[in-house]
Structure 1
Amino acid sequence: MIPKTLNEAVAAMEEHRGEALLYAGGTYVHEQRERGALLKIKAIVDLEGLGLDTIENGGDSIKAGAMVTLNKVIGSDAFRAAGFEALVQAAYATGPDQIKNAATLGGAVACWVPVIDIVPVLMSLRAKAVVQVARESRTIEVGDLLNGPEKTLLGKTALISGFLLPRPAPGSRSQFKKFRRSASDWAVVNASASIRSDGAGRCVDAKLVVGARADGYFSLPRTEQFLIGKQIDGKALAAVPGIVSTELTLTDHFTASADYKRSLCGFLLRDAIAGAAKIDVSQARDAKGVDRHG
């Protein structure tokens, strides 16, 4: 099915409730087919003709359509502004060009396979999804949409039409990091840090998110509060992994144990914070001068 409007697309989802599949870039669809997960699908709703592949740069937010590909993110002038560094980094880190040319922002959030690189970045940038429900449009924080691996709160008759990304305030920077077992593998863990500093170099705002294979994505309010009001230096960076470990409850997975993933999350987030603050991570030492660089 090739709808011409969002309402037609939603109507198609309602008609085939639970038996329709939204088709965006197709990268996840092919994986589902290999797993035999499409046996009950009776209709494919192709979103390509709905004009959801634009990036609008104006006002307090940048609006990116759900069909914007990762390569379009990389090439967009709108996302070259300070504060959006992590978004471009995560897009670069997501597979070869064949994937980046097809994978879309909407598909990344809607399928929510832990751990897709772009999702924690959207969360750390406080992005909101524009969701079409019946004949209404609603905005929902990206993190609030997620409801467990491969589950969202979209239901079976709603779709994401785009995203609103607040324009970063002056003094904002962000950074993305990931760990994977091979160049072609999903990330085992990833981390995105968005921070804002004042003229004296003190952190005045922070949004920190990590993702862990088989577990999902986690905001870290305790670590954020630790950073706010502090100069981000070696001493502050050295404390980050320990604080992160107290905020995460993870599960064992064949790629890594829960303890190992928790440790990786802490050190990756520390490195992301250091990158966002333009601090050499080798400065992260404890009081005895022991190098904490992982």
Structure 2
Amino acid sequence: MYTIRQFLCPSSLEEAYQALTAARNNTVLGGCMWLRLGRRAIGTAIDLSALGLDRITDTGDTIEIGAMVSLRQLETSELLRQQYGTLFRDAVSGIVGTQFRNTATVGGSVYGRFGFSDVLTALLALPAQVRLYHRGTVSIEDFAAMPYEKDILECIILPKQAYAASYQHMRFQATDFPVLTCAVSCRDGIHRISVGARPQKACLAYQGQAPDAQAITDSLNFSSNMRASAEYRRKICPVLIRRALEEVQACR
């Protein structure tokens, strides 16, 4: 569990950022679903719930997903379904249960860049961007590879374009952490393929035409942990990629 010395609900992103960078042990609160599993002393806990970041917004050319949007909102959004099919529903529906998804946030899931993050894997399959308050807007793949630094994730920006997309994952039982995750999207013949839970954080594994599942797998690094061995992950990776490619092909 964690302890909090001071609680702040800022009225602006600037106030939130100044508080975050004022001390090393100050931190932003998301849904707190993963934060509560750790042991740490927080100086100032910063709650972003008053900043209007809990909406999925159609801006005309893009779709913006605020940092405080819940995983349940991702799962049930008709706007996201119209553009990307069942990609986000399939990505988050296996995460614990509905009550958990009502509380866990997109910002917490993405900013943490956890190796087991289904959300990050799904987003990497799209040409998404991340808007950070201090650094500005960066591509999702660049963000995933960046070192951790103090900043505030404002929103995820997605192109408002229809994509054929598929999300695949391997879990030994429902609601458990994934052993391996894979997402594929296709538009105008260009595929984007992401792989996560290797158990390293997800990465954009391929972008281009005519993907080869085995060649993509051979280009990735896999490791072992308590859930599966590196060899097992390497064996099932091309299977998940092929399943996703077949589903994408059927949607086109």
TM-score (norm. length: structure 2): 0.90
Give the unaligned 5+ runs of structure 2: 1-7
Q: Is the 8 A contact 1:55 1:65 kept in 2?
A: yes
What fraction of aligned residue pairs are identical, expressed as a percent?
26
Residue 200 of structure 2 is aligned to residue 215 of structure 1: yes
Residue 184 of structure 2 is aligned to residue 206 of structure 1: no
* Structure 2 residue corresponding to 1:29, chosen from 35, 57, 62: 35
Residue 149 of structure 2 is aligned to residue 155 of structure 1: yes
Q: What is the letter of the counterpart of residue 260 of structure 1?
A: Y
Give the unaligned 5+ runs of structure 1: 198-203, 228-239, 280-294
Q: Distance in 2 between matches of 1:73 and 1:245?
A: 28
Deviations 1:4-26 (A, max 9, x none): 1101100101212x211210111
Q: Is the 8 A contact 1:212 1:261 kept in 2?
A: no
Larger radius of gyration: 1
RMSD: 1.8
Residue 243 of structure 2 is aligned to residue 258 of structure 1: no
Residue 6 of structure 2 is aligned to residue 8 of structure 1: no
SS of alignment partner, residue 96 of structure 2? coil
Question: Which residue of 2 is the match for residue 248 of structure 1?
Answer: 220
State how 1:171-182 maps to structure 2 within 5 Å.
172-182=163-173
Deviates more, 1:86-95 or 1:263-272: 86-95
Q: Distance in 1 between matches of 2:103 and 2:198?
A: 23
Deviations 1:186-227 (A, max 9, x none): 101000000125xxxxxx1110001124322122227x4433
Q: Is the 8 A contact 2:194 2:202 kept in 1?
A: yes
Q: How many residues align?
A: 244
TM-score (norm. length: structure 1): 0.78
Q: Quote the offset at 1:64 in angstroms.
A: 1.1
Q: Quote the offset at 1:51 in angstroms.
A: 0.9
Question: Which residue of 2 is the match for residue 226 of structure 1?
Answer: 210
Question: Which residue of 2 is the match for residue 92 of structure 1?
Answer: 93
Q: Distance in 2 between matches of 1:154 and 1:50?
A: 23
Runs ≥4 in structure 1, deviation > 6 angstroms?
none
Q: Is the 8 A contact 1:66 1:106 kept in 2?
A: yes
Deviations 1:235-257 (A, max 9, x none): xxxxx442222211212222211
Q: What is the letter of the counterpart of residue 161 of structure 1?
A: E
SS of alignment partner, residue 196 of structure 2? strand
Q: Distance in 1 between matches of 2:19 and 2:26?
A: 8
Deviations 1:44-98 (A, max 9, x none): 1111111100111132210111101111122222112142421221122222011
